[in-house]
Amino acid sequence: MDRMIYTALNALAVRRDTKITQANNLANQTVPGFRRDLPNEGGTRFLQTDGIGSTRAFRVEDGPAGFSDEAGFLNPTGEALDVAIADEGYFYAQPQDGEPSLTRRGDLRVGADGILRNGAGDAMLDVNLAPQQVPPFRSMLINGLGEVRIEPMNGVPGETQLIGTLATVVPGKDVTLRKSLDGRIRVPDGALPPPNQQAEVLQGTLEGSNVNPVEELISSIEIQREFELGVRMMSTAKEMDEAGARLMRAPE
């Protein structure tokens, strides 16, 4: 009974963490460029006492959980400050209280400080990995390489000025990306890869998250059933243990 109970508890812990991951995915399904978190089911380790294995089983995660790098739906908006990456690749962004990170979020705006920021408030970085400054402008054009041209407010109508280039990168196959504790995408225990400008930038287009709400909800129902099965296993183990105790009880 001891082994059965701990097996059931371990399964319940896995299902609980998966439910938390799914809840986070569903909460961010409308966030532009959000990357779906993947469950980290890890493995099982048995307690060793004096070199002897016991029936005490514990769930142990296999490192940090990953995320899905599938592209989200591209929604043409026609807005000059909406940008997206056509296929593979990332923009560079600087959170207000963290290290630089990679992002697919492209709902841009110009802050009161004149810095180009995305919807999360992160500063978009140029090829020098410095915040992209934007002077007052009438219109803005961002080409496929990420070059930002504006029609200055005080300039001659029709005159354009190159003010910078949004840094982009298509990481190599040997680069491992993970989400940090703040939810941003970075290289674990290392520096970000340098910009290579190999990603194609689309202006007037916004990428949605790659969360499939139907898939997440169906999976949530399955996990709930598995959770209930684990609870029933514990209840059955209790009943079997009580029945065994009654058989071993001395006659009155």
Pairing of strands 109-110, 116-117: antiparallel
Mean pLDDT over 208-233 rounds to: 85
Cα separation, 165 vs 133, in Å, equals 10
pLDDT at 76: 95
| Farthest CA pair distance, the chain | 106
Position 1 pLDDT exceeds 60: no
Highest mean pLDDT among 2-6, 49-53, 215-219: 215-219
Residue length of the chain: 252
- 33 vs 35: CA distance, rounded Å: 6
Q: Could you tell me if 167 and 146 are in contact, meaning their C-beta atoms sit under 8 angstroms apart?
A: yes
- Backbone CA torsion sign across 218, 219, 224, 229: positive
pLDDT tens sequence across 86-133:
989 999 999 988 899 999 999 999 999 999 999 999 999 999 999 999
pLDDT per residue as tens digits for the range 50-84: 666 565 666 666 666 789 989 999 999 999 999 99
0.85 surpassed by pTM: no
- As given in the structure block, the two tokens for residue 218 are 């169906």
Question: 80-96 pLDDT, tens per residue?
Answer: 999 999 989 999 999 98
Q: What is the pLDDT of residue 234?
A: 77
Say what the pLDDT of residue 49 is: 60
